[in-house]
């Protein structure tokens, strides 16, 4: 979603803000803007629809010079992308400027109140309402800025991460959060940085403070950081060191972040299982489970919550946990779970899966599960994220920063961690026999090398992409462990190439989707050799009989499917529980190449945002 950056210190703010905005463009990118307090006391606001580059050319050579400022990349919620709706927004007197991520739910009521009091609002955004409201509170009460912000926020319903700059206070910057993440970087020489995540901060400092819900921070030029809650309790800032390396935020010679992240998977899977899979001692370790064994050993049900690609990883986990640990599993869209009065018992264990750890629906769903007394385990990629902090226990995925909007390495890292969890549970509960456990352990340890092999042999995928690039629809079919991969393949294609694609369990095809099949319909089958292989072969026959163009992902050496279909991509033979870690890779590459051939922006597909921090 929207990206936030802020700076207060001895240096010119603008280069820091622009660099931060470029790093944040992956979150949301329909407009961008900056506000700085200039040396002559002017509050200078510059904003432009489109990419950060548009903002830069709009500003031209007349660069802002102030040493305090805020910047924002917008992902539109209230009002379409436009110069006027872009952030920062000024209050009515043009004295304060506000940037905001989130949604103010009572903005219409506040807007009515402000209009009644003579405020003239020029944009359609909830953020401008916030700017006017803070200014109104400050003017009418005479409160100091931090107190005025806290007083105003008491009346605000909704989610926000915001930063306020006041023309009359060149030595202070105010930041606040509720349900949307906000990080403060504490630099050398009394410098402060603010970010909606750590990416715009890490080039300057690794010391950060994560603001908690309903906290308002005041940063001063003399290096003081004070935090008070909205209800006026003092909070001692907890400074933490982050491990993020700036190199991990660069493309490292690849044309796109997505391609880099696809090729990073041998490493990201290895990092995610390192220390957990111990081949020499024949053990797997998962302290997040062991530390709460009393709960896990009695779990009657596992409830998995997530959205999008993380939900697909949850579907793979359903097969893993039921198959290896024999615990019933339900996988829920977090967004549906939270609004349907779900039945959650304290004998349930909830697993929340999220790359960003900030997805608003998933966060709200785990809060609900906790209220019902469930033990909640997080599988997150971003260290220190809200979901990681709000769960009772968890396991990080160690995939490293994922910048491409379409999730790739996060998925395989999630599946790898969930596999270790299911193996560990199966072993401890006695539902997984030693021979299968050892086979899975060795198999999992080999997966990074085999993913590398799939990547090394991936050249044909680009040629196959040429055949499919002009399609307007596509079907992805798989069974068992490969059904979630079919869903994930279809999601990847629609996200970045804008081709309408559907994933189905292969056997469901005859209950409806088969009506769509003709010569113009590409059908992607995941037809690896497992217990449903022959069934999938029959499904392939059904599509072939109706003239569909078929690409099949098959096990190395397969001849039967090869003889039936138009194109094949081979993957090495592995245990069927591990196969999704390999079969998803050609799906990712196929989407990537098709999107490139269609001239789409692979890393920043239209309308999408990386971290979905609004409902």
Cβ atoms of 62 and 108 within 8 Å: the answer is no
Q: Is the CB of 55 or the CB of 493 nearer to ligand F6R? A: 493
For residues 46 and 32, what is the distance between their CA atoms, to the nearest angstrom? 9
The DSSP bridge partners found for residue 73 are 3, 32
Binding-residue pattern over the window 568 to 587 for ligand F6R, x denoting contact by CB under 6 A:
--------------------
Q: Is the CB of 135 or the CB of 603 nearer to ligand F6R? A: 603
Compute the least distance from the CB of residue 412 to ligand F6R, in Å. 12
Residue 449: Cβ within 10 Å count = 12
Q: Does 497 bind ligand F6R (CB under 6 A)?
A: no
Q: Is the CB of 127 or the CB of 611 nearer to ligand F6R? A: 611
Number of residues that bind ligand F6R (CB under 6 A): 15
Cβ atoms of 452 and 572 within 8 Å: the answer is no
Helix axes 434-456, 265-273, angle to 10 degrees: 160
Compute the least distance from the CB of residue 309 to ligand F6R, in Å. 3
Q: What is the DSSP string of 134-145?
A: HHHHHHHH---H
Binding-residue pattern over the window 399 to 418 for ligand F6R, x denoting contact by CB under 6 A:
-------xx-----------
Q: Does 128 bind ligand F6R (CB under 6 A)?
A: no
Please state the three-class secondary structure of 238-286 as a single string: CCEECCCCHHHHCCCCCCCHHHHHHHCHHHHHHHHHCCCEECCCCEECC
* Phi (first) and psi of residue 552, to 5 degrees: -120, 135
Q: Does 310 bind ligand F6R (CB under 6 A)?
A: yes
Compute the least distance from the CB of residue 414 to ligand F6R, in Å. 8
Q: Does 36 bind ligand F6R (CB under 6 A)?
A: no
Q: Does 309 bind ligand F6R (CB under 6 A)?
A: yes
Compute the least distance from the CB of residue 581 to ligand F6R, in Å. 17
Question: Comparing C-alpha atoms, which of 110, 86, 67 is closest to residue 28?
Answer: 86
2 is an active site residue: yes
The DSSP bridge partners found for residue 129 are none
Binding residues among 472-491 for ligand F6R as defined by CB under 6 A? 491
Question: Comparing C-alpha atoms, which of 457, 463, 454, 505 is closest to residue 482?
Answer: 505
Stretch binding ligand F6R (CB under 6 A), from 54-62, 303-311, 338-346, 519-527: 303-311
Q: Does 205 bind ligand F6R (CB under 6 A)?
A: no
Compute the least distance from the CB of residue 510 to ligand F6R, in Å. 28
Cβ atoms of 380 and 394 within 8 Å: the answer is yes
Q: Is the CB of 127 or the CB of 414 nearer to ligand F6R? A: 414
Compute the least distance from the CB of residue 349 to ligand F6R, in Å. 19
Alpha helix locations (H) across 101-213? 107-116, 126-141, 145-154
Any idea of the CA torsion for 82, 85, 87, 93, to the nearest 10 degrees? 130
One of 48, 453, 494, 610 is an active-site residue; which one? 610
Stretch binding ligand F6R (CB under 6 A), from 48-56, 73-81, 265-273, 301-309: 301-309
Q: Is the CB of 98 or the CB of 406 nearer to ligand F6R? A: 406
Residue with tokens 């990201």: 268
Compute the least distance from the CB of residue 251 to ligand F6R, in Å. 18
Q: Does 612 bind ligand F6R (CB under 6 A)?
A: yes
Single out the residue of 214, 332, 495, 603 in contact with ligand F6R (rule: CB under 6 A): 495
Cβ atoms of 218 and 226 within 8 Å: the answer is yes
For residues 260 and 26, what is the distance between their CA atoms, to the nearest angstrom? 15
610 is an active site residue: yes
One of 2, 307, 380, 600 is an active-site residue; which one? 2
For residues 287 and 280, what is the distance between their CA atoms, to the nearest angstrom? 18
Q: Is the CB of 505 or the CB of 605 nearer to ligand F6R? A: 605
Cβ atoms of 325 and 306 within 8 Å: the answer is no
Binding residues among 345-374 for ligand F6R as defined by CB under 6 A? 354-356, 359, 362
For residues 229 and 214, what is the distance between their CA atoms, to the nearest angstrom? 6
Determine the 3-state secondary structure of 481 from DSSP. coil
Q: Is the CB of 191 or the CB of 488 nearer to ligand F6R? A: 488
Compute the least distance from the CB of residue 382 to ligand F6R, in Å. 8
Cβ atoms of 530 and 478 within 8 Å: the answer is no
Q: Is the CB of 166 or the CB of 358 nearer to ligand F6R? A: 358
Compute the least distance from the CB of residue 476 to ligand F6R, in Å. 14
- Comparing every residue's Cβ against ligand F6R, the nearest one is 308
Note the residues at the interface with ligand F6R (CB under 6 A): 307-310, 354-356, 359, 362, 406-407, 491, 495, 611-612
Which residues participate in catalysis according to the annotation?
A: 2, 610
């Amino acid at each position: 979603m929207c990206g936030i950056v802020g700076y207060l210190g001895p240096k010119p703010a603008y280069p820091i803000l622009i660099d931060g905005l470029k790093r944040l463009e992956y979150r949301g990118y329909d407009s961008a803007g900056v506000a700085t307090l200039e040396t002559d006391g002017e509050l200078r606001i510059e904003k432009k629809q489109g990419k950060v580059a548009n903002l830069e050319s709009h500003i031209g050579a007349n660069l802002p010079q102030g040493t305090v400022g805020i910047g924002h990349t917008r992902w539109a919620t209230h009002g379409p992308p436009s110069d006027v709706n872009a952030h920062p927004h000024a209050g009515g007197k043009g004295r304060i400027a506000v940037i905001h991520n989130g949604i103010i739910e009572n903005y219409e009521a506040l807007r009515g109140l402000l209009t009644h009091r003579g405020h003239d609002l020029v944009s359609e955004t909830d953020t401008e309402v916030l700017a006017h409201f803070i200014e109104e509170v400050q003017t009418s009460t005479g409160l100091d800025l931090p107190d005025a912000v806290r007083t105003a926020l008491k009346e605000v319903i909704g989610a926000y991460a915001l930063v306020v700059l006041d023309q009359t206070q060149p030595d202070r910057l105010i930041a606040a959060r509720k349900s949307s993440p906000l990080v403060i970087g504490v630099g050398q020489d009394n410098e402060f940085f603010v970010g909606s995540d750590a990416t715009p901060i890490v080039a300057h400092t690794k010391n950060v403070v994560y603001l908690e819900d309903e906290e308002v921070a005041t940063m001063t030029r003399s290096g003081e950081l004070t935090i008070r809650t909205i209800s006026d309790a003092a909070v001692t800032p907890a400074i933490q060191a982050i491990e993020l390396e700036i190199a991990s935020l660069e493309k490292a010679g690849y044309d796109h972040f997505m391609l880099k992240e696809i090729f990073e998977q041998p490493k990201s899977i290895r990092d995610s299982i390192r220390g957990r899979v111990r081949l020499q001692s024949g053990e797997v370790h998962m302290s997040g489970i062991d530390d709460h064994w009393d709960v896990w050993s009695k779990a009657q049900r596992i409830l998995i919550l997530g959205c999008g690609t993380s939900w697909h990883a949850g579907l793979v986990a359903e097969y893993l946990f039921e198959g290896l640990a024999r615990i019933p599993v339900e996988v829920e869209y977090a967004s549906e779970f939270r609004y349907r009065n779900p039945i959650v018992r304290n004998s349930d264990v909830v697993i929340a899966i999220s790359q960003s750890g900030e997805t608003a629906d998933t966060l709200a769903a785990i809060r609900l599960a906790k209220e019902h007394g469930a033990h909640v385990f997080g599988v997150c990629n971003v260290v220190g994220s809200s979901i990681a902090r709000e769960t009772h226990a968890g396991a990080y995925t160690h995939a490293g920063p994922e910048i491409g909007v379409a999730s790739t390495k996060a998925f395989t890292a999630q599946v790898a961690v969930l596999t270790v969890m299911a193996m560990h549970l199966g072993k401890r509960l006695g539902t997984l026999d030693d021979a299968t456990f050892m086979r899975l352990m060795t198999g999992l340890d080999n997966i990074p090398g085999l993913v590398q092999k799939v990547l090394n042999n991936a050249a044909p995928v680009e040629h196959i992409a040429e055949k499919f690039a002009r399609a307007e629809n596509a079907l992805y079919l798989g069974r068992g462990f490969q059904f979630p991969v079919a869903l994930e393949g279809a999601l990847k294609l629609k996200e970045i190439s804008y081709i309408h694609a559907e994933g189905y369990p292969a056997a469901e095809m005859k209950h409806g989707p088969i009506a769509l099949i003709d010569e113009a319909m590409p059908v992607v089958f995941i037809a690896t050799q497992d217990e449903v292989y022959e069934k999938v072969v029959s499904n392939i026959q059904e599509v072939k009989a109706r003239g569909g163009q078929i690409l099949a992902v098959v096990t190395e050496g397969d001849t039967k499917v090869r003889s039936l279909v138009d194109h094949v991509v081979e993957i090495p033979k592995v245990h069927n529980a591990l196969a999704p870690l390999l079969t998803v890779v050609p799906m990712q590459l196929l989407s990537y190449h098709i999107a490139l051939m269609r001239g789409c922006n692979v890393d920043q597909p239209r309308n999408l945002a990386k971290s979905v921090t609004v409902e």
